[in-house]
Homo-oligomer: A and B are copies of this chain.
Amino acid sequence: MVSRLTANLQLYGALSADEQRAVENMVISTRAVAAGEDLVVEGDAPTHCRVLLEGQAFRHKTLPDGRRQIMAFHIPGDVCDLQGLFLGMDHNVTSLSAGEIGLIPHAKLTEVMEVHPRSARAFWSTSLVEAAVFREWMVGMGRRSAYARIAHLFCEMVVRMRAAGLVHQNRCSFPITQQHLSDALGLSAVHTNRTLQALRGEGLLTFQGGELVIMDWPGLTAAGEFDAGYLHQAGKSA
């Protein structure tokens, strides 16, 4: 499963066999995680990075009065606290499903990146792409309707999961509740529910029991004004 990490990194630049081995060897241990487990908590100053190897997770912040904002969803191959390499954590990361994570000591990561600049480039690129995704979410929350926002998020997840080999015949696992969806998009759960019904009613998709099924991809991308360019995958959606 450690190969999920190198597979992900190589979306942004090829690595030699040697480099791949070096990167995979940084993962000194793996461990199973349960659904809903906090992997990293606001205020932590981690000494390791966590790579998600199996399952899904999300990054989020909760305001004093309980309002929550989800800022990203993670899929296998993602490093979920790369920020912790240089800065403290200013948000939480929680698993969505049972899965597995790998641990990479910061010291090892720093060392490998110095020896293999291309791996450094790949890691840095993943954090730049993550920032690009944040910006796109801002466009959605600032300027798109609830309808387009939901469609856009599903498009994004499908493209990312497809690149990771996690989409089979227009279906993929996305184990979130409508409440998660609402907190990611800045909507109320009620409005999310009704808008989801509209999307379903248009025959664009189906989303229940944590499974997302795309029924009309052209229609969905149009509804979400989706253009995958910001994911910088260079046509890698196999």
Given the complex, which residues of B lie within 8 Å of A142, measured CB to CB?
A: 69, 141, 183-186
Q: How far is the CA of A88 from the CA of B124 in the complex (A)?
A: 14
Given the complex, which residues of B lie within 8 Å of A91, measured CB to CB?
A: 135
Q: How far is the CA of A225 from the CA of B64 in the complex (A)?
A: 9
* A and B contact pairs by CB, cutoff 8 A, 20 listed: A12-B86, A13-B86, A67-B143, A68-B143, A69-B139, A69-B143, A83-B131, A87-B125, A87-B128, A87-B129, A88-B232, A90-B132, A90-B229, A124-B127, A127-B127, A127-B128, A130-B131, A141-B141, A141-B142, A143-B186
Q: A interface, by DSSP: helix, strand, loop or mixed?
A: helix
On whether the beta carbons of B128 and A71 are closer than 8 Å, the reply is no
- Contacts of A137-159 to chain B: CB distance below 8 A: 137-139, 141-143
Given the complex, which residues of B lie within 8 Å of A225, measured CB to CB?
A: 63-64
The interface of chain A, by Cβ under 8 A from chain B, is: 12-13, 59, 61, 63-64, 67-69, 71, 82-83, 86-88, 90-91, 110, 114, 117, 120-121, 124-125, 127-132, 134-135, 137-139, 141-143, 183-186, 225, 229-230, 232
Q: How far is the CA of A110 from the CA of B117 in the complex (A)?
A: 10
On whether the beta carbons of A132 and B68 are closer than 8 Å, the reply is no
Picked from B67, B86, B114, the residue with its CB within 8 Å of the CB of A128 is: B86
Given the complex, which residues of B lie within 8 Å of A129, measured CB to CB?
A: 87
On whether the beta carbons of B121 and A86 are closer than 8 Å, the reply is yes
Output the residue of A67, A90, A120, A129 with the most chain B CB within 10 A. Answer: A90
Given the complex, which residues of B lie within 8 Å of A230, measured CB to CB?
A: 90
Q: How far is the CA of A130 from the CA of B132 in the complex (A)?
A: 11
Given the complex, which residues of B lie within 8 Å of A88, measured CB to CB?
A: 232
**Shortest beta-carbon distance, A66 to chain B, in Å?**
10
Known A-B contacts: A63-B139, A87-B125. Give 4 more (CB < 8 A): A69-B143, A71-B138, A82-B128, A138-B138
On whether the beta carbons of A132 and B63 are closer than 8 Å, the reply is no
